[in-house]
A = this chain, B = another copy of it.
């Protein structure tokens, strides 16, 4: 997280240049992580399949998300110039390695979110 151990305003971690920050900006995105997980499961999907699979996403957000992930080298976009056009998306090796990282998050969540829920109830009860 780019923590400065020296004195001064310390963290520059939130700066756009911090790798961790940029990673969180990516996977913290509501749709990006869903796209990655979907492609991780299916291996390769068409635009319309992704659209159907990820409930609630608008075309705009799906396209925007896919472009971003493509730009980051996390997935590839393949156009087959048939009629009508066919476009397939697939994770790159880089994208697959990130999928592994996301799974770690998932495991923490499944193991500990119940505890978080209990803490919330407790907190809300005491502050009501």
A73 to B110, CA, bound (A): 16
A20 to chain B, nearest CB (A): 5
Q: Are A120 and B73 in contact (CB under 8 A)?
A: yes
Q: Are A112 and B94 in contact (CB under 8 A)?
A: yes
Secondary structure class of chain A's binding surface, majority of residues: helix
Asked if A106 lies at the interface with its beta carbon under 8 angstroms from chain B, I say yes
Contact of A110 among B19, B25, B56, B122 (CB under 8 A): B19
Interface residues on chain A, number (Cβ under 8 Å)? 55
A11 to B74, CA, bound (A): 21
Asked if A116 lies at the interface with its beta carbon under 8 angstroms from chain B, I say yes
Asked if A22 lies at the interface with its beta carbon under 8 angstroms from chain B, I say yes
Q: Are B72 and A98 in contact (CB under 8 A)?
A: no
A101 to B13, CA, bound (A): 17
Q: Are A72 and B24 in contact (CB under 8 A)?
A: no
Given contacts A19-B110, A28-B24, contact A73 B11 (CB under 8 A): no
